[in-house]
Chain A
Amino acid sequence: MALFALVLACFFASLVVQFLVPPIDALHHAKMILTPVFLSYIALAFEYPFVLAFAFIAGFVWDALTVQFIPRQGSLAVEIWLGWSIILYGVVGSLMHGMRPWFQRGKWFVHPMLSGLSASAIVLVEYLMISLQRMEETHLFFFPGSLWIRVLGHGLICLIAALPFCLIFSLAAKLFRFEIIPEESRGRL
């Protein structure tokens, strides 16, 4: 429980960093999204209820900080509903948790790849949701090459952030017999 609280504290610190780090121009202004990195660690090191708890907290906080509320004709409109990230992180977290045996078999790169893919998926789904909302006004649905660079750029940044993380745990398992996966769940994998 204390470790989970520590991971949550690190996650909140990472949120501040994500707000301060500027976008990367070379990747069409892709930004740093670190939540999937934390999610992959939680999925490996904790039991399933903790994965869902983290997905809920992370998704809710992320949406609460980033969702845009647009005043329209005296009321407020939203393009992305508060809470949709919870669903996405819940699905990704469950997937990562279910793929723990891969990590135990030495395939340490699977979880970083999942982190990267989920970061790209989050950004792409956001784009589709926003575009659908704006269709009424613009009648446009753009899919230019720069869009894919930005979407994949988010994934690449997340993948790079997650790679050393999982590599260290994998090396620690080989060299020092340190196991990130909790002892009680190893037998079931």
Chain B
Amino acid sequence: MKRWNIIALAAFIALTVVVLLINPRLGQKIQGTFLAMITPFLKSGSELEKKITAVRVGLKSLEELEEENADLLVENKKLRATNQLLAEVQTENAQLRKSLDFRERSTFTLVPARVVARDASAWWNSIVIDRGSNDGIRPEMPVVTDQGLVGKTTTVDDNVSRVVLISDENCKVAVVVEGSPDKGILWSVTGTRVSDPAVPELTIRFLPKTASLKPGQKVYSSGLGGVFPSGLLVGEVIDFTVRELDAQAKVQSEIDLATIEDVFVIVNQTEEEEEPETERATPVAPQPTAPRPKPTEIPVARPVRPSSPN
């Protein structure tokens, strides 16, 4: 063996040992730095990919466009009607809260973000978003879309963050099922660990044996654990089984995690003492050419606590 080869091998072993001794905190900082370094390229690549897709999707016939337009008009009318109804409910809710002297009401501040990359590794399910600590994002903040919960942030740098998806086994959510007092822990303990990342096999575990859930019941985060606030839609029950010691329910998320493009990070939850304003903004997906949207505050369905009689 040549002398230079021996020196190179010794240096290689020494440097590898040094890297292996790096503690996770420093490792996470290094990850943030590397992600920040490649994010400009990922953003450009992602934009190019979107443009190519847009050209492909944009090539529609006149008939298809007419059909799509008719569908959108129907949907628009439906949403207007729902919006009207919700406005009435909100006014009623505000009046009732005032009369009952409820003290707290939670609101979320949402930061819209764009997915710039997906995990390149084989076994983890995560995405990279184009917002970071400069936008108020910190590790372990919930990430949502208008269809429900997506995951939580892990590594955060100035302008980029990594989000672990709910389809990853490391993302656990304390949940409650609509119309049921039973609570459990939801996570993607798949039967195979090689399931389709776009359609995660989510399971609620540790439900009591006495629980009785039916397919179609909505599943919401319960707020336990401190990371995910209560009231975030996770999915709906598709199957329920009672086992020897506990019960389990399979849950399907409505979000296609493989094609998700725009998300919102819940950067903080504020507890308001005053009644919220009548009109509040609702989350809107950021437009591709629009400047960076400002954080949006929205109220959510969350169990409220009456103020102390004293």
Contacts and interface: CB of A to CB of B under 8 A. Distances in A.
Interface string A65-103: 111111100011111011110110010000000000000
Nearest to B40: A16
A104 interface: no
A164 interface: no
A182 interface: no
Chain A CB count within 10 A is highest, among B42, B119, B194, for: B194
Nearest to B35: A65
B124 A68 contact: yes
B49 to A, nearest CB: 6
Interface stretch (A108-116, A141-149, A165-173): A141-149
B16 A90 contact: yes
A35 B237 CA distance: 41
Main secondary structure of the interface of A (DSSP, over half): helix
Interface string B167-206: 0111000000000000000000101111011000000000
Interface stretch (B3-11, B61-69, B283-291): B3-11
Contact of A86 (B19, B25, B41, B139): B19
A153 B107 CA distance: 46
Interface stretch (B26-34, B142-150, B241-249, B268-276): B26-34
A4 interface: no
Contacts of B170: 68, 70, 79
Contacts of B118: 19, 22
Interface string A130-164: 11001000101010101100100010000000000
B46 interface: yes
Nearest to B140: A71
A138 B189 contact: yes
B260 interface: no
Nearest to B197: A29
B8 A52 contact: yes
Chain B CB count within 10 A is highest, among A19, A47, A52, for: A19
B5 A49 contact: yes
B24 A19 contact: no
Interface in A1-55: 12-13, 15-20, 22-23, 25, 28-31, 33, 47-49, 52-53, 55
B197 A20 contact: no
A87 B46 contact: no
A170 B263 CA distance: 48
Contacts of B34: 61, 64-65
Contact of B194 (A25, A47, A150): A150
Given A16-B42, A65-B38, A84-B20, A144 B192 contact: yes
B155 interface: yes
B258 interface: yes
A66 B194 contact: no
A131 B194 CA distance: 12
A123 interface: yes
Interface in B191-225: 191-194, 196-197
Contacts of A65: 31, 34-35, 38, 120
Given A19-B128, A65-B34, A71-B139, A147 B194 contact: yes
10 contacts: A19-B117, A20-B42, A48-B9, A49-B8, A68-B154, A70-B164, A83-B19, A123-B123, A147-B194, A150-B122
The 10 closest A-B pairs by CB, nearest first: A49-B8, A83-B19, A76-B24, A66-B121, A19-B117, A52-B12, A83-B20, A82-B27, A16-B41, A18-B120
Given A19-B42, A52-B11, 11 more contacts: A20-B46, A20-B49, A20-B117, A25-B196, A48-B5, A53-B12, A56-B16, A67-B27, A70-B154, A83-B19, A127-B193
Interface of A: 12-13, 15-20, 22-23, 25, 28-31, 33, 47-49, 52-53, 55-56, 60-61, 64-71, 75-79, 81-84, 86-87, 90, 123, 126-127, 130-131, 134, 138, 140, 142, 144, 146-147, 150, 154
